[in-house]
């Protein structure tokens, strides 16, 4: 909608008010309109209106001697205007003022614009956000449920002034995008500086976008300014991701070099010695099982000693010892326990899920398909050229499309 203050002058002739053959004119008070017949004019697209009454009601009646009447008033009205905001703020709107009689049909009252200048003062009007490009007046008949009425229409084309949006939205967005490119000239080892710059530019673009959306009605379709802000956000976010790629490539290359250097300088393993007990392998676990009903488990916490020696080797309540001992079931004392290779295999033979193996193979394939860059500085060098050129191409397409 839009609000307009206007002077509405209506002209008609009432033969009953003829009072002299000589031509002269009387200027009467606005209250005189309540004593004569006046047309019931209203605005078809009106939302809210009020008549100015400072210091008196802004109404005027002029009566000529032959019965011609001029009835004028000054008021402010808010009119509905269906705006198309696809090109906002580079848009043009076509708004109208619809005037018709409320109760008199075309068989009672015929309304038409006064010649030769039905509308005066439109060219001198100045609006803060719009410029009036042109206007025209038309009249037509409207068929409604109660009959056919004469409707007068004043339509004018409004071109939105873009200067406000250039300094408020477009120029700050351009500067923020250019500021994000500064990180391409910062050393890739200065992690805190580049990350802080990237996050700051992203948050600033988010703030600008939020401020623009708060001043507009909530509409479902995409506007021109939304496209521009989204693309600026993409460029800023891409600059931040560029450093992530640089950092990943740099530290990945260092890790590979370190691994390769470690393999080259690896000391050969010492010669293997023959096992003391090559026949079987036994794992003895000592736990705090004093309350176990099994004798072999209940007595494991006790100290071990060599026969004929006073020195005792004591173990803590929870102890694990692996050794090789000959296995002879007949030689085991009564109540002894034996756990061999089968039990150990059941504990440690769990397989990894197939999902992780599939993901690992997929990641390896992606890593192999990526181009290998030995010098990470090349990424920054390419970005210094690719980002500005891409942004210039986007701006050229954007402004040519929406302005032409």
DSSP string, 308-334: T-S-EE---SSEEEEE-----GGGSPT
**Do 295 and 253 lie in a common domain?**
no
**Do 9 and 155 lie in a common domain?**
yes
Predicted local distance difference test score (pLDDT) of residue 245: 83
361 falls within a domain: no
Predicted local distance difference test score (pLDDT) of residue 289: 45
What does pTM read for this prediction?
0.65
The residue segments making up the domain with residue 106 are: 2-161
- Residue whose C-alpha is closest to residue 150's, from 141, 159, 158: 141
135 falls within a domain: yes
Decide which of 161, 193, 209 is a domain's last residue.
161
**Do 153 and 220 lie in a common domain?**
no
Q: Considering its fold, how many domains does the chain have in total?
A: 3
pLDDT at residue 345 above 50? no
- pLDDT, one tens digit per residue, over 215-225 is 887 888 899 99
Q: Which two tokens stand for residue 222?
A: 């995409």
- Residue 70 or residue 375, greater confidence: 70
**Do 189 and 212 lie in a common domain?**
yes
- Give the alpha-carbon dihedral of 76, 81, 86, 87, to 10 degrees: -50
**Do 294 and 244 lie in a common domain?**
no
> What is the three-class DSSP state of 36?
coil
- Residue 134 or residue 125, greater confidence: 134
What letter does residue 351 receive in the DSSP assignment?
A: P
The total number of residues written for the chain in this structure: 404
pLDDT band at 308 (very low <50, low <70, confident <90, very high): very low
Predicted local distance difference test score (pLDDT) of residue 324: 47
Q: What is the mean pLDDT of residues 168-188?
A: 91
Predicted local distance difference test score (pLDDT) of residue 266: 56
Lowest-confidence pick of 149-158, 169-178, 376-385: 376-385
296 falls within a domain: yes
**Do 146 and 255 lie in a common domain?**
no
pLDDT at residue 398 above 60? yes
Q: Given phi > 0 = left and psi -120 to 50 = alpha, else beta, which region is 67?
A: left
Q: Given phi > 0 = left and psi -120 to 50 = alpha, else beta, which region is 121?
A: left
**Do 58 and 207 lie in a common domain?**
no
**Domain containing 190 — which CATH number?**
1.20.58.390
d(CA 13, CA 6): 23
DSSP 259-306: HHHHHHTPPPPPPPPPPSS-S--EEEEE---TT-SSHHHHTTTSPEE-
- Residue whose C-alpha is closest to residue 209's, from 182, 231, 239, 185: 231
Predicted local distance difference test score (pLDDT) of residue 386: 93
Lowest-confidence pick of 59-73, 109-123, 331-345, 390-404: 331-345
275 falls within a domain: no
141 falls within a domain: yes
Q: What is the mean pLDDT of residues 331-359?
A: 54
> What is the three-class DSSP state of 116?
coil
Predicted local distance difference test score (pLDDT) of residue 390: 96
Predicted local distance difference test score (pLDDT) of residue 100: 93
**Do 142 and 8 lie in a common domain?**
yes
286 prior amide bond cis, ω within 30: no
- Residue 171 or residue 279, greater confidence: 171
121 falls within a domain: yes
- pLDDT, one tens digit per residue, over 200-220 is 999 999 999 998 888 887 888
pLDDT at residue 288 above 80? no
**Do 186 and 77 lie in a common domain?**
no
pLDDT band at 287 (very low <50, low <70, confident <90, very high): very low
pLDDT band at 192 (very low <50, low <70, confident <90, very high): confident
70 falls within a domain: yes
d(CA 7, CA 59): 10
Predicted local distance difference test score (pLDDT) of residue 258: 59
Q: Estimate to the nearest angstrom the gap between the alpha carbon of 128 and the chain centroid.
A: 29
**Do 53 and 78 lie in a common domain?**
yes
- Residue 120 or residue 357, greater confidence: 120
Residue 48, beta-bridge partner list:
78
Predicted local distance difference test score (pLDDT) of residue 199: 93
156 falls within a domain: yes
**Domain containing 150 — which CATH number?**
2.70.170.10
Q: What is the mean pLDDT of residues 124-132?
A: 85
Decide which of 161, 177, 211 is a domain's last residue.
161
What are the residues whose beta carbons fall under 8 Å from the beta carbon of 12, sequence distance 6 or more?
39, 68, 69, 71
- pLDDT, one tens digit per residue, over 30-55 is 888 888 999 999 999 999 999 998 88
**Do 179 and 244 lie in a common domain?**
yes
Q: What is the mean pLDDT of residues 118-146?
A: 88
Predicted local distance difference test score (pLDDT) of residue 291: 47
**Do 192 and 106 lie in a common domain?**
no
pLDDT at residue 290 above 80? no
pLDDT at residue 98 above 90? yes
Decide which of 161, 186, 216 is a domain's last residue.
161
Q: What is the mean pLDDT of residues 337-356?
A: 52
Q: What is the mean pLDDT of the chain?
A: 78
- Residue whose C-alpha is closest to residue 139's, from 124, 122, 120, 119: 119
Q: Check: CB of residue 64 under 8 Å from CB of residue 25.
A: yes
């Amino acid at each position: 909608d839009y609000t307009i203050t206007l002077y509405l002058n209506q002209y008609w002739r009432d033969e009953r008010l003829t009072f002299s053959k000589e031509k002269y004119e009387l200027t009467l008070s606005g209250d005189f309109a309540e004593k004569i017949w006046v047309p019931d004019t209203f605005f078809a697209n009106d939302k809210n209106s009020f008549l100015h009454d400072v210091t008196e009601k802004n109404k005027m009646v002029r009566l000529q001697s032959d019965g011609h009447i001029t009835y004028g008033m000054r008021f402010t009205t808010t009119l509905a205007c269906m705006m198309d905001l696809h090109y906002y703020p580079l848009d043009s709107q076509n708004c109208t003022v619809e005037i018709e009689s409320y109760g008199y049909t075309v068989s009672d009252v015929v309304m038409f614009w006064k010649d030769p200048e039905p509308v005066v003062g439109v060219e001198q009007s100045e609006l803060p956000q719009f410029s009036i490009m042109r206007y025209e007046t038309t009249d037509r008949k409207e068929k409604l449920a109660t009959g056919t009425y004469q409707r007068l229409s004043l339509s004018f084309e409004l071109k939105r002034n873009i200067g406000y949006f250039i300094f408020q939205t477009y120029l700050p967005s351009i500067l923020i995008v250019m500021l994000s490119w500064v990180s391409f000239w910062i050393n890739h080892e200065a992690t805190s500086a580049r990350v802080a710059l990237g996050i700051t530019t992203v948050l600033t673009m988010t703030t600008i976008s939020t401020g623009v959306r708060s001043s507009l009605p909530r509409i479902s379709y995409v506007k021109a300014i939304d496209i521009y802000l989204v693309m600026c956000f993409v460029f800023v976010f891409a600059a931040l991701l560029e450093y992530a790629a640089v950092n990943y490539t740099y530290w990945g290359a260092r890790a590979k070099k370190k691994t390769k250097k470690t393999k080259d300088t690896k000391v050969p393993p010492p010669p293997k010695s023959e096992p003391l007990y090559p026949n079987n392998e036994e794992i003895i676990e000592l736990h705090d099982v004093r309350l176990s009903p099994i004798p072999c488990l209940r007595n494991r916490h006790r100290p071990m000693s060599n026969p004929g020696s006073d020195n005792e080797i004591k173990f803590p309540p929870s102890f694990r010892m692996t050794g090789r001992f000959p296995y002879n079931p007949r030689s085991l004392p009564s109540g002894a326990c034996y756990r061999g290779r089968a039990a150990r295999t059941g504990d440690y033979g769990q397989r990894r899920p197939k999902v992780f193996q599939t993901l690992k193979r997929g990641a390896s394939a992606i890593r192999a398909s990526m181009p290998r860059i030995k010098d990470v500085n090349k990424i920054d060098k390419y970005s210094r050229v690719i980002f500005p050129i891409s942004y210039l191409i986007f701006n050229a397409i954007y402004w040519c499309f929406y302005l032409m």
